[in-house]
């Protein structure tokens, strides 16, 4: 049996996690149905801010870091 490479593992996990996240976003979107739920613009703004922050944090993690070294 062939051992899973790091790349294969990344792809497998990424596909699963991204698909799960997309489904979760759709479930959050279902909350927009005013006939089933009551919410304020402030509630919605909090949700959107939290999701945007989580996405920004994710993007930061995938951004190469330029580590500068101090030299004299």
Task: Show Cβ contacts of residue 61 under 8 Å, excluding neighbours closer than 6 positions.
Answer: none
DSSP SS3 for 67: coil
The pLDDT score that the predictor gives to residue 71 is 78
The pLDDT score that the predictor gives to residue 20 is 98
Question: Which residues does the chain have with pLDDT short of 70?
Answer: none
Q: Calculate the dihedral angle through the C-alpha atoms of 22, 24, 29, 32, rounding to the nearest 10 degrees.
A: 180
């Amino acid at each position: 049996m062939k051992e899973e490479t790091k790349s294969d593992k990344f792809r497998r996990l990424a596909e699963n996690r991204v698909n799960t996240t997309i489904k979760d976003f759709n479930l959050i979107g279902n909350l927009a149905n005013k006939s089933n739920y009551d919410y304020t613009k402030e509630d919605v703004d909090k949700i959107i801010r939290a999701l945007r922050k989580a996405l920004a944090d994710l993007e930061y993690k995938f951004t190469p870091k330029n580590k500068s070294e101090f030299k004299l």
